[in-house]
Amino acid sequence: MMPGSSGGSWKSSGTGGAGGDGGVPDQFPAGLRVLVVDDDSTCLMILEKMLRHCKYEVTKCNRAEVALSFLRENKNGFDVVISDVHMPDMDGFKLLEHIGLEMDLPVIMMSADDSKSVVMKGVTHGACDYLIKPVRIEALRNIWQHVVRKRKHEWKDFDPSASADEQKQPEEPDYSSSANEGNNWKNTKRRKDEDDEADERDESSSLKKPRVVWSVELHQQFVAAVNQLGIDKAVPKKILELMNVPGLTRENVASHLQKYRLYLRRLSGSQHPGGMNAGFMGSDAGYGSISSLNGLDLQALAASGQLGQLPPQSLATLQAAALGRSNNAKSTISVPVIDQRNLFSFENPKSRYPEVQSQHLTSNNSSKQINLLPGIPTNMEPKQFVSLHQSGHHSFGGMNNLVLIQMGGQSQVHVHSQNQTQSQAQSNVNTHNVLRQPVMSNEMLTRGGVADMAPTAVYNPVVSVSQASSLVNFSMNHKTDSCGTSYPLGGSLGISSLPTASSALQGDGNLDTKVSRKGIVPSYDIFNDLNQNRDWGLPDVGLTFDQSPHTIQSGLDGSNPLLHQHNRASGRDLGGHNRNLTSGKVVLPPGVETRTRHNGSNVGQPRNVYVKTENDIDGSCHNTLYSEQYGQDDLLAAILKQQQQQQGVGEPENEFVFDGYTLDDLPV
Amino acid sequence: MAAVSQLQRQFIEYTTSLYNEGYLDDQFTQLQKLQDESNPEFVVEVVSLFFEDSEKLLNNLATALQQKIVDYKQVDSHVHQFKGSSSSIGAQRVTNVCVHFRNYCEEKNLDGCLRCLQQVKHEYILVRNKLEALFRLEQQILQAGGSIPMME
């Protein structure tokens, strides 16, 4: 009784393919072409039998690879796929992704495992249903609904004008009424029959739009278009225009975009985007082949909207950088280094960071510090820094330095080191902005430290610091594990700043002077942020960056005030730490402290960084940037320069998080 | 005819007891319903397939658990499969043991796993014997010219 559907669409079954069933509707959903995949032959046999009982056309295979080749060879040969989850040769979810991307068929997952997590996985991977074994025939009887539903949506997109009358049928095909013109199914079928009777291709079918196979190249074009537009602004219409592929419809792009978004979201959520790569477009996919997770992360970030304004070029740069670097998840932050300068140019620091962060986050939560400054040992324990700092003048928490460095690392450097209050870099005191390694974990060393720096001076040195501070901020935020995101950015920032800071600091003296922070004002904003409970997510990170322009202005002289500031933020006794620096300014507003503490979550708050490095650094803010160790002087210098150019920035836009924060708050 | 009806009665009683004792569950009934004229041996075929697969699985399980370093993931994967196939044909007791077995795998409890392996083997052999007996009864009925009673 299997309708002798001519391999074409379902319709044939209805059209009396099976000898005289005039009442097409009655046959529905007979003839549904099902591909069932399961490595267990017992189950496979039973399923086949059941499906045949439902009058479906069944093809079975026990290997996922075989199933995929079936599907690829018969582009439109199947209506729905049922697949087991646990298969030896390929994970069922992976198969699901492939099918969704390449053929856009509804896929039903199946398993003896009924745990919520697995079912959820099915949902997130885009399965249209999930059946628990043992599967009963009743469950199989209704699978046609998934096909109709999908077609209906596609069709509607495809031909909105025609949807009016025909569309309304889909919900409950009125099989009984043969005169049911409105019956979508019937109509479609009829139309199809009329249009392409024996046409295996469904191209002309109004209901069944041609299945677009998203080849690797096509997908790459798609990704390029999306990146160009910016993930937030990537709408199917524009993507379609950019791609300029003949025959591609907006609907094709729309559905692919949806999957892509899901994919990216998964990436950003998973620790190992790498895995996803392979899954997305097959390991050979251009996209997937982005070896570095970074790339993916970036994408993911982009997708997640965090990047917001990520300028395409930054993303590209970062991606390139990421790609260039080793992919290991861990060092994603390396990329940021490259863009440090860019960041400092503040094109869109925010966006940059988010990327970095996400990368960072996604790649590995472990406290990887983004060792932006190659020379800087990223794993310096806070204590080490502390000691370093201590040795120096740690009048200030010396956090700043640490913070800077921290940026990269998620390391849990608790701000203790920060306590050093980098702010000291304020120059007043010995602002040694100890650019410690980003040891500062979430606490964004800088935060704590920076805050203390109250005096704007802190910023100055930071200019680089400011840059750094922004960096620092980042570092602060991250709580390596959770915030990951925030850190990366910060990290990078920090690092960049480090160089400058280091250079600046190196002199120990210079910093102080430079601190003229006009820009410092922004730094205060940081504190605002700190107070406000910002969410230390990526956005913040980005913010900090921007802020940096402000702060940095003075050019790295000061040890990153930011750093100091951060340290402060770290909640350590803000007041306590950098006390020296800011002449008591440590003011990191209490709020700040708390914030930093909370790195856990959004450590990314650059806020801390902002410790107004205004120049309190004048003191000798020796930011004891441990930058020396890092030898990133040039980087810092560059950053500083940028900063200075940016000086005009003035108020940190609130975009960054500093909205609430006004420099004024910071006791300079 | 008396023989047939007697056989049929026997069949019904036996089947009922299998259900009552949990050897079989509703899924088995589903399979029987799938059987029709176009495929009158369906149930026997499926069950035979199940026996073959199960024996392989049991061997694999024994091997996996005998390794110096047991790969619990692998063991779990076998058990998962066994669970799936046994539940598909309705071998309820086997499925139940598999559930416990998986828990031990998760805990990496070798002792528990070994015990479960014994248990699942035992249950498997039991249900295999019972089903074979049931099929023999069916054959006898058919040979006596009767028809197999539909179980509810």
**Cβ separation of B46 and A49 shorter than 8 Å?**
yes
- pLDDT value at B109 more than 80: yes
Compute how many other C-beta atoms are within 10 angstroms of the C-beta atom of residue A233.
12
Closest residue, chain B, to A51 (C-alpha): B34
Q: Does B74 touch chain A (CB under 8 A)?
A: no
Closest CA to A225 of A248, A208, A206, A205: A248
Strands A107-111 and A129-132: parallel
The per-residue pLDDT for A110 is 92
d(CA A308, CA B7): 77
The per-residue pLDDT for A664 is 54
d(CA A228, CA B145): 77
The per-residue pLDDT for B81 is 92
Q: Does B42 touch chain A (CB under 8 A)?
A: yes
Q: How many CA atoms lie within 13 A of A248 on its CB side?
A: 23
Q: Which ipTM was obtained for this model?
A: 0.93
**Cβ separation of A49 and B34 shorter than 8 Å?**
yes
- pLDDT value at B123 more than 80: yes
**Cβ separation of A40 and B87 shorter than 8 Å?**
no
DSSP letter at A3 equals -
The whole-model pTM stands at: 0.44
Compute how many other C-beta atoms are within 10 angstroms of the C-beta atom of residue A201.
13
At residue A36, what is the residue type? Answer: V
Burial class (CB within 10 angstroms; exposed 0-12, middle 13-18, buried 19+) of A203: middle
Which residues of chain B does A87 touch, with a Cβ-Cβ cutoff of 8 Å?
none
Distance from CA of A436 to the nearest CA of B (A): 43
Helix axes A486-507, A561-569, angle to 10 degrees: 130
Interacting residues of A47 by C-beta distance below 8 A, sequence separation 6+: A36, A38, A58, A60, A82, A135, A140
Residues in chain B: 152
Closest residue, chain B, to A134 (C-alpha): B88
**Cβ separation of B27 and A136 shorter than 8 Å?**
yes
At residue B42, what is the residue type? Answer: F
**Cβ separation of B30 and A137 shorter than 8 Å?**
yes
Compute how many other C-beta atoms are within 10 angstroms of the C-beta atom of residue A41.
16
d(CA A395, CA A431): 6
Q: Does B45 touch chain A (CB under 8 A)?
A: yes
Q: Any idea of the CA torsion for A649, A653, A656, A661, to the nearest 10 degrees?
A: 110
Closest CA to A446 of A575, A564, A580, A613: A564
- Nearest by CB to residue A46, choosing from B31, B81, B83, is B31
Q: Which residues of B35-49 are buried (b: 16+ CB within 10 A; e: fewer)?
A: beeeeeebbbebbeb
Q: Which of B25, B26, B29, B30 to mutate to test the interface with A (most CBs of A within 10 A)?
A: B30
Which residues of chain B does A39 touch, with a Cβ-Cβ cutoff of 8 Å?
81
* Whole-Å CA distances, B107 to B96, B100, B120: 17, 11, 18
**Cβ separation of B89 and A46 shorter than 8 Å?**
yes
The per-residue pLDDT for A45 is 92
Cis bond upstream, residue A29 (ω within 30): yes
The per-residue pLDDT for A239 is 86
Mean pLDDT of B121-150: 92
The per-residue pLDDT for A284 is 41
**Cβ separation of B53 and A113 shorter than 8 Å?**
no
**Cβ separation of A41 and B80 shorter than 8 Å?**
no
- Nearest by CB to residue A53, choosing from B34, B80, B90, is B34
Q: Which residues of chain A have pLDDT under 70?
A: 1-27, 157-212, 269-668
Dihedral sign for Cα atoms in the order A22, A28, A30, A33: positive
Q: Does B77 touch chain A (CB under 8 A)?
A: yes
**Cβ separation of B46 and A46 shorter than 8 Å?**
yes
**Cβ separation of B87 and A113 shorter than 8 Å?**
no
**Cβ separation of B88 and A133 shorter than 8 Å?**
yes
Tell me the residues of chain B between 92 and 111 that have a Cβ less than 8 Å away from chain A: none
Distance from CA of B144 to the nearest CA of A (A): 28
DSSP string of A17-72, one letter each residue:
ITT----HHHHTTTT-EEEEE-S-HHHHHHHHHHHHHTT-EEEEES-HHHHHHHHH
Q: Does B129 touch chain A (CB under 8 A)?
A: no
Strands A80-84 and A419-421: unpaired
**Cβ separation of B88 and A134 shorter than 8 Å?**
yes
- Nearest by CB to residue B87, choosing from A84, A112, A137, is A112
Strands A397-398 and A419-421: antiparallel
- pLDDT value at B121 more than 90: yes
Containing A646, the helix (H) or strand (E) segment is helix A633-646
Percent of chain B with pLDDT over 70: 98
Q: In the numeric block, which tokens belong to residue A27?
A: 């046959």
Give counts: helices (H), strands (E), chain A.
Answer: 31, 7
Which residues of chain B does A36 touch, with a Cβ-Cβ cutoff of 8 Å?
none
Q: Which of A43, A86, A90 to mutate to test the interface with B (most CBs of B within 10 A)?
A: A43
Burial class (CB within 10 angstroms; exposed 0-12, middle 13-18, buried 19+) of A194: exposed
Distance from CA of B101 to the nearest CA of A (A): 13
The per-residue pLDDT for A158 is 58
Q: Does B44 touch chain A (CB under 8 A)?
A: no
Which residues of chain B does A91 touch, with a Cβ-Cβ cutoff of 8 Å?
none
Instruction: Give the distance from CA A583 to its chain's centroid.
Output: 41
Are residues A665 and A528 in contact, defined by beta-carbon separation less than 8 angstroms? yes
d(CA B112, CA B108): 8
**Cβ separation of B53 and A49 shorter than 8 Å?**
no
Distance from CA of A134 to the nearest CA of B (A): 5
Q: In the numeric block, which tokens belong to residue A230?
A: 């910016």
Q: Does B130 touch chain A (CB under 8 A)?
A: no
Compute how many other C-beta atoms are within 10 angstroms of the C-beta atom of residue A217.
11
Q: Which of A2, A36, A37, A40 to mutate to test the interface with B (most CBs of B within 10 A)?
A: A40
Q: What are A604-651's pLDDT values in tens digits?
A: 444 443 434 444 444 444 444 444 444 455 655 555 666 656 554 444
Of the ranges A528-532, B30-34, B54-58, which one carries the lowest mean pLDDT score? A528-532
Distance from CA of A32 to the nearest CA of B (A): 19
